[in-house]
Amino acid sequence: MELQTYFDNDEEDNKENGVTTPPNNDPDPGPPENNKTPEAEQTNDQEISPNNGIDEQFLKDIFVESVSRILENMIQNSATVLNFNSLTVFDARDIPGISIYNYLRRIMAYSEATSRTIVMCLSHIDNLTNDDSSPVILTRHNIHRLLAVSMMVSAKFYEDCYLDNESWGEITGLSLFEINRLERKFLTYIDFKINTKLDCYIQYVQMLLSYAVESNIVDYDTAGGLLQAIVDASALEFEDSAN
């Protein structure tokens, strides 16, 4: 399947009003058009994990499900009809046909993002949508684009190896023109404040694991062990990424 049909952009329309046509209703459009899994998929996750000694894929699965449910809860009461007086470049014309969970799972499967990236992605979206000066209100019309660009920006900053914008466009179903434009606007909205302090990162990890326990995604003892292992491993990782 041609991935560009996922967010079938009309760039002239984009320039006029900042919205595009929605993705099709395929819950999983499949891998990028070359049908090759990125090198990260062929690498032992344990070796590239930012949390040594932890099953990285297990942690990714927990975070993907937890973040997806949290975002669903945040937008469940949002408007289903666009308010054309408050559009931003992140708003799609119609609500995308793919669920937040399947979209995020796709991004994690075909990018080189680690569990740390998804935590940082959530923190950036949370900060952006809770900033009184931000024009972005989280809705079903913009959550997919916000996820796409926040994941990309977080991966670029926190991971040793990351994909270029064209590859991110293929994974997320956005044209290179669109992903570049969204990245510029996203960085402007967050005032280029990408770096997250260790204590803030741990706070979001703790929140996600607590939510996972409450939602029966993982049991209490397992979550406690994961949290302790992440705390023990994170200080050095954050020091390295800041250098």
**Which CATH number characterizes residue 148's domain?**
1.10.472.10
Mean pLDDT highest for which of 19-28, 86-95, 200-209?
200-209
Res 94: pLDDT? 83
pTM of the full predicted structure?
0.76
CB 151 within 8 A of CB 117: yes
Judge whether 167 lies within some domain. yes
CA 60/CA 158 separation, integer angstroms? 16
Tell me whether residue 32 is in a domain. Answer: no
pLDDT at 53: 66
* Lowest mean pLDDT, pick from 53-57, 170-174, 218-222: 53-57
Name the residue with higher pLDDT: 196 or 21. 196
Does residue 95 lie within any of the structural domains? yes
Average of per-residue pLDDT across 24-37: 44
At 234 the pLDDT is: 78
Is 104 within a domain?
yes
Q: What is the dihedral of CA 220, 222, 227, 229, to 10 degrees?
A: 160
Domains in the chain: how many in total?
Answer: 1
Q: Is residue 172 part of a domain?
A: yes
Indicate the pLDDT class of residue 12, thresholds 50, 70 and 90. very low
> For 171-195, what is the mean pLDDT?
94
Which residue segment(s) compose the domain that 93 sits in?
3-26+53-194
Q: Does residue 241 lie within any of the structural domains?
A: no
Q: Is residue 208 one of the residues assigned to a domain?
A: no
Helix axes 115-129, 56-75, angle to 10 degrees: 20
Q: Which residue do the tokens 């959550």 mark?
A: 143
First to last CA, the chain: 41
Per the domain annotation, does 101 fall within a domain?
yes
